[in-house]
Amino acid sequence: MSELIKTTLNGDSTDLLMDKWLDHDRNIAHDTYHEWFKDVRERRHNDIANLAEKQVIAWNKGAFSPENVFCRTVDTGRLISLGRTWTTHVYHHHAIQERQLSMMRVVFTMLPELMLLRGMHDTGCDEIYIVVTDLRRKEMDDVTDYFKLVSRFGFGRRCKPSMEDRIQREHIRLSHELLRQHRTPCFPQIDLIVRAILYEKRPRFLVLFSRQTTSYSQIFFTDPSYVPDEEIFYDYPTGCPNPCCTDDCEMIRFPRRGNRSASVLQIKTPGKTKRIKSKFMCNWIDCDVSFGEVLTARNVDKNSDSSEASAELSSENTRNSGHLCSKCKLVRYCSVEHQRKDWDNHKRVCVKI
């Protein structure tokens, strides 16, 4: 059994794909996503006082482009542009390379979903992992159930002999079935690379991509808190170019129903499990202040000469609640100095409410 080939696409490749996606002449499906973002922009929140905590997607200024669309991160609560690039690692069988099938096309197929999932996380998504398969729909369902079973009972813990036998039998069944259908890569290769990525890289999510037109591509999340909010993404486009298809026709299984429809693989390590907690932090990307925590000298910029920063440093026992942007009330800052430093980015979304 040969190893899968890894193709790495850097940030420049991501920028190139974004430019291509925005081109109306070459990408007709762009209109569907444009209308969805436009609809989200027009939704109004009744409770203005809690707007900063509620608004997940913000597109308030400029033309439709990733640089002008902002997403609130689930791990830090910051409002950050979708224009951030990332590095994509695509694992595929050598036969795909021999057929000269570009991995750029694979990433381009799910670019809107990757932009949103990348934008939802402040940290941990600088690298995205995709495993390319040719699984059909029923086979993808079976493989998904297998990895859910393995992550629940087989990762980071000793399971009962009966459960080990069950996992082994399921592995053998899938291996024989996919071998009989001449699937590439074979199931042992898929199992090996997915386990290795989950155990060594600890990504926020992992994509199991299918080249079959009658199948779908699965997104595995490694924690329930990483799943998109159902209240925002319930009507997210399916990605299918056929306008006659129903909502059940999905090219990318994006969890529009939140945790109810998401495939979550909760990977546990030996020892005490560290619970993932969401924080609400200063919106300046280089600041590590979490609101509600006790301020210390290391939390505040030492080079700051603002009066507010000096007051914070003089009282280490003061809990920082931050202050809202007085214009848009979408983000919080720990000091005026950090608000000034973040203005070049924040001005693209800041409008008076």
Residues 291 and 224 in one domain: no
Q: Are strands 87-92 and 127-133 parallel, antiparallel or unpaired?
A: parallel
Residues 147 and 194 in one domain: yes
pLDDT tens readout for residues 262-307 = 999 977 655 544 555 667 899 999 998 888 654 444 444 444 444 4
Residues 253 and 304 in one domain: no
Cα separation, 288 vs 285, in Å, equals 8
Residues 83 and 155 in one domain: yes
Q: Does some domain include residue 175?
A: yes
pLDDT at 266: 77
pLDDT at 54: 67
Cα separation, 341 vs 8, in Å, equals 33
pLDDT at 320: 64
Q: Does some domain include residue 273?
A: no
Contact 266, 260 (CB under 8 A): no
Residues 91 and 10 in one domain: yes
Number of helical (H) and strand (E) elements in the chain, helices listed first: 13, 11
Q: Does some domain include residue 271?
A: no
Q: Does some domain include residue 269?
A: no
Q: Does some domain include residue 272?
A: no
Across-strand partners of 6?
91
Residues 292 and 183 in one domain: no
pLDDT tens readout for residues 119-166 = 998 888 999 999 999 999 999 999 999 999 999 887 766 788 899 999
Residue-level pLDDT, tens digit, the chain, 353 residues: 567 899 999 999 999 998 888 875 445 545 788 888 888 877 654 444 455 556 788 888 888 889 999 999 988 889 999 999 999 999 998 887 655 567 888 899 899 999 999 999 888 899 999 999 999 999 999 999 999 999 988 776 678 889 999 999 999 999 999 999 999 899 999 999 999 999 899 899 999 999 988 899 999 999 898 898 888 888 888 776 665 566 566 788 888 888 988 999 977 655 544 555 667 899 999 998 888 654 444 444 444 444 444 444 334 333 467 888 888 888 999 999 999 999 999 999 998 86
Q: Which of 218, 236, 264 is the last residue of a domain?
A: 264
Residues 100 and 211 in one domain: yes
Contact 252, 219 (CB under 8 A): yes
Residues 256 and 284 in one domain: no
Cα separation, 168 vs 270, in Å, equals 21
Instruction: Indicate the number of domains in the chain.
Output: 2
**Token pair of 345, please?**
């980015």
Q: Which of 264, 292, 308 is the last residue of a domain?
A: 264
Q: Which of 238, 264, 290 is the last residue of a domain?
A: 264
Q: Does some domain include residue 245?
A: yes
Residues 6+ apart with CB under 8 A from 284: 333, 338, 339, 341, 342
Residue 276 exposure: Cα atoms within 13 Å on the Cβ side: 17
Residues 155 and 120 in one domain: yes
Residues 99 and 176 in one domain: yes
Residues 290 and 165 in one domain: no
Q: Does some domain include residue 190?
A: yes
Which residues form the domain of 149? 5-264
Cα separation, 243 vs 256, in Å, equals 18
Q: Does some domain include residue 270?
A: no
Identify the residue whose tokens are 């000096």.
310
Residues 127 and 166 in one domain: yes
